[in-house]
A and B are shown apart, each in its own frame.
Chain A
Amino acid sequence: MSEALRPHLGPNDVFASWYIRQERDELITLVGDADRLLGSQRLPLAPVRELLREWELQIEDITARRGVGASRRPPPLGDLPDLVQQLGACAIPDALRDAARDPRYRRLVALPDGLVHSMPIDLVVVRAAMLPITRVFVDGVVTAPSAASFVYARGKSRGEAAPFAALLLKQGDAALEEEVETVRQALPFPSTVVRHRDQLAELNERISLLYVASHGETSTPGRAGDHELGFDWRIEFDGGGGALQADDFYSGEIRLQPGAVVVISACSVGQVAAGPMHELRGMVNALFYAGAANVLAARWPLPYETARHVFVGTVRDHYRDGTALASALRSNLLSAIYDPPIRALVRPGQWPFFFGPFVLAGAG
């Protein structure tokens, strides 16, 4: 049965798709809106790959020494802001750059492929457009691994069952406990704190918001078939609470309410997406499979302060005011950028590390 992408695009949406051709060393991009396909462009893959490799190295450097000092390794291709600038020039097709400058388009639906998932598309596209961040895609950016998963998420997002939240908490971490408590207070519907995997299974198909504040990890990914893609990620419960893995969702043992929102918060859980950051894709797919329509997560580990500000604010605005998730994420990201305590944390040349990791996958 074939379905179409077009009916799922709003009048102010533009979508961009990236497709990697390793053997041709090129990126094929396609851009379109709800009326028509605007254009395709072939971009050289090598410079994008180089820049993203450097990007990952710098993120790892910062993550490893966060709070200790600045990166020791001299960046050969420039610092993070330079990389954002360069990626804007070589990974953003002309049609998307033009769309970003066009105020008609308020939301971007990004369909990256492979390593492009690790690119902070929202920041990069702003640089490509050469406009202030406040004027580009003012309703936010939504990501999906493929057009099919976007359509899937849109179909799921129509659920109308009673809302209920489960908050996964890593025990013994005061900062996480505080974050979870803040979220619970912000929610206008019942919630429970989950400390064991089996507790989660008992809530099958009831959970409309799964908020994860725990540790995660991934295996070193290798090649699966002819594509670099790993799935071996896990979210830990401490104190013998077990762990969550992809097959818990694929096997149907853990099922969410259709259309559920999953938020993977806390700096440590960012490790889920560490390493080759497009690992996130495997996790997103598994959560979609379990019924989620939206997954809000981070591409790399990030400071508590930023995570709490953005994740908790987004959840609050979405559930209290009915703001669309993409829009809520964007406004909370902007307020984090202008928040003095958070700005104080940002070292020179590192602002993309603080404001670039957030990704909303799904229906938006």
Chain B
Amino acid sequence: MALSQQRLHQLHRLLSHGDFHQLLDAVTTLWPSDRPDGLGALADFLLHTRTARRDVCQDLYDQMAPVLTCSRHDLEAVAQLGRRHAAVLAFEGRDAGEAFLRRQAAELPADDRGFPLMLLGRHLTDEGRIDEARDLLREAIRAAEMSVEWYLLSVIREMARCQLHAGETALSFEYVRAYWVKSYVRGKISGPALKTFLLGSAAAFGQIDYLVELQLNVATCGRREELPAPSEHADLMAALLSELGIDPPEVQEADGLLEAVHAEHFAALHLADLGKTDEALEAFGRAADDATRLETRLGAALYWMSRLLAVWLRPREEEAVALLAEFGDWSPATAARGLLHGCLPYAVDTTAWRRVLAGGPIDGDSAAHDEHQALVTAVAVLGRLAEAAGATEQARALYQVVLDCGSQELWLGSLVLRRLIALLVGSGSDDDLERAGAIGAARLEKELRPMARWHLLTELAHGRAAQGRPAAALALVEQAITLWKRVLSGLYDPRSKVAWLERGARSLDLAVDLLSVSGDWIDESDRLDKLLTVTELSKARLMTDAINRKEYLPGPFMLTERYGLNADRMEQAREEAPDWHAAVALQSVVYSESLVYVDWGHDWRHENSRPAREVATDLGPLRTTLRIPLSHDRELLASVDTVTYDVSGLPADTELIDLLSSADG
């Protein structure tokens, strides 16, 4: 029921000036016990009285509680259960709130029961009763699918949150993915928005294999002739760049090939962060090839950037010298050419480089922006070569030039900063360690990508340990391990797992170092608890590594099918991992040839609704490896999902929980 302005005004006046009986009369007139429509509005009003009239609010609530909590089976009343529950919670507390939802769920017909079950699941998740919440949400999803699905998206979102609280990061992401796919299928979000949300969610959840696959899909589609409309291109580019934290440049002549270059480029950077250097180099190679085909100034800049970053990944001086010699044909490098002439690439005058780069892009277009970035990247590569040759002082100076001049490019800045911190930590001097801590901490505040955060936290932890500050080092390395596990849980390519498992040794070894000796900085029982956790995790890391190196073993980590659903596998998943099965089934539409949906133009519940149009969408770009991982108990044997002594010895992934909560808001 929508309250009229006049009635609202009347209620407001009574709330401000009237006595309790006048107020009660007005409220009971509006919401009579025999015909209580608009129960959501009643709940809102009662909640409002808590701030407006604390003296009468409880009495008013007590009078109206039977009306507010009555059982009504019509869709409107059911849909307002969330607001009614909020009022019950506020006035009667959590137990009464739970009892209210349980009663509603018991009295509603099966089709509508899912909604109160979903609210109950949310209520129990908030209370930390995760197993109970999960059972209810499972039931709610089944009910939502059987009915007209009007609350399905809400249930999916709650399940994602619940699984995250349960520590099931990868599974939680599957529900997040299902949420976006279902939103797209229902026409609630556009195609470019879907890609933005999928890439952003994957980045936050550390689902790197998925992120790379999606970007490579985009690249493949971009290379084909079937190009999307230019406007969609611009949106997609913006999505990709904003996912990386980069201000998107103005793209004047965007086309599929350009899209492919960027997608390959960013896939390569993800692969490099993961430790899959060979695959990253291949992706940079493809990006460079595509960039050449662009035959534009922007293409040239992107070509150089891809080639240079490949040298960054594998710093070989002869390749770098050959590459930098080619710079002579590239007009923006003319000013820099002299600096390279006649000396080793890294033995250059950083002041001169600083002068060349200080000016920034000559003009404001995308090509100029990327040309400047390519020059900044060239300086970073010089630093990398210097480091590889053992000239650490020169490397540090060149890295500093990059950070001072090119920090707007977040990814390159992150790569360079990591190396600089590693050099400072490696030097071991007090000043350098202090400086590493300061610049690392400042960077951490801005850095959201889990892999980059893991790198930073691990190096900072080593720095703190070298400073003789074990408590600070342990706090940092525990955060790093949590992130490392988050990323690992999302990997499904065995080669990715092997690469990332190898990286994990640096943080796990430090944790074992810190915890293997007693000290007055940590309570002894706490130390033993954490030591058992990290040693068992280290053993599990090695076991997982050994299993994943045997790629001929198809089952130990998950069942994967590319670009299709396999009925047998799905049936097995239904039995062994019902929550995974549900999440995958909810996304099954992306394995169709195409999606034709009916756009109703407005609220379908309106009795005069008529379809406005039919929309056909190509779903190819969304197809990625389908994941149906192991049951939990098998995860204990084949993954780093290990055990602790008692309660968790590692901090929960509260960072991600907070992130999802803020996204909810």
Contacts and interface: CB of A to CB of B under 8 A. Distances in A.
Interface of A: 1-6, 17, 19, 21, 23-24, 28, 30, 32, 36-37, 39-40, 42, 111, 113, 145-149, 151-152, 155-156, 224-227, 229, 231, 246-247, 250-252, 282, 285, 288-289
A19 B535 contact: yes
A177 B645 CA distance: 45
B536 interface: yes
B505 A226 contact: yes
Contacts of A42: 516-517
Given A4-B645, A145-B543, A146-B642, A30 B532 contact: yes
B153 interface: no
Given A6-B645, A149-B636, A227 B545 contact: yes
B658 interface: no
Contact of B535 (A1, A30, A225, A289): A30
A290 to B, nearest CB: 10
Contacts of A39: 528
A2 B637 contact: no
Interface in B521-577: 525, 527-529, 531-532, 535-536, 538-540, 542-543, 545-547, 549-550, 552-556, 572
Nearest to B544: A225
B168 A37 contact: no
B148 interface: no
Contacts of B546: 224-225, 227, 229, 231, 282
Contacts, number: 140
Contacts of A224: 545-546, 549
A37 B528 contact: yes
B535 A152 contact: no
Given A28-B516, A146-B539, A251 B647 contact: no
Interface string B616-638: 00000000000000001110111
A363 B149 CA distance: 45
Contacts of A148: 536, 540, 636-637, 641-643
Given A2-B650, A152-B636, A282-B546, 17 more contacts: A4-B644, A5-B532, A19-B535, A21-B509, A30-B528, A32-B532, A32-B645, A42-B517, A224-B546, A225-B545, A227-B542, A231-B546, A247-B552, A247-B553, A250-B553, A285-B637, A289-B637
Contacts of B529: 37
A28 B514 CA distance: 13
13 contacts: A1-B168, A2-B650, A4-B645, A5-B646, A39-B528, A40-B527, A42-B516, A148-B636, A148-B637, A224-B549, A225-B502, A225-B546, A289-B638
B323 interface: no
A2 B525 contact: no
Nearest to B648: A2
A147 B572 CA distance: 28
Contacts of A113: 539
List 5 tightest A-B contacts by C-beta distance, closest first: A37-B528, A19-B535, A225-B545, A227-B542, A224-B546
A268 B345 CA distance: 64
Given A148-B641, A227-B546, A229-B546, A1 B531 contact: no
Interface residues of B, number: 51
Contacts of B516: 28, 40, 42
B22 to A, nearest CB: 55
A21 B542 CA distance: 12
Contacts of B528: 30, 32, 37, 39-40
B167 interface: yes
Q: Chain B contact residues: over half helix, strand or loop, or mixed?
A: helix
Contacts of A285: 543, 547, 637
Contact of A146 (B168, B543, B632): B543
A19 to B, nearest CB: 4
B535 A28 contact: yes
A4 B646 contact: yes
Contacts of B505: 226
Contact of A229 (B498, B542, B556, B642): B542
A28 B531 contact: yes
A339 to B, nearest CB: 37
Contacts of A1: 166-168, 632, 641
Contact of A289 (B166, B634, B642): B634
A2 B642 CA distance: 7
Contacts of B269: none
A4 B554 contact: no
B532 A151 contact: no
A233 B554 CA distance: 17
A252 B517 CA distance: 43
A225 B542 contact: yes
B42 to A, nearest CB: 41
Contacts of B644: 2-5
B501 interface: yes
A288 B555 CA distance: 13
B637 A251 contact: no
Nearest to A18: B535
B540 A146 contact: yes
Nearest to A227: B542
A229 B528 CA distance: 27
Contacts of A111: 536
B340 interface: no
A3 B636 contact: yes
Contacts of A2: 167, 641, 643-644, 648, 650
A28 B509 CA distance: 12
A225 B498 contact: yes
A152 B509 CA distance: 25
A42 B643 CA distance: 22
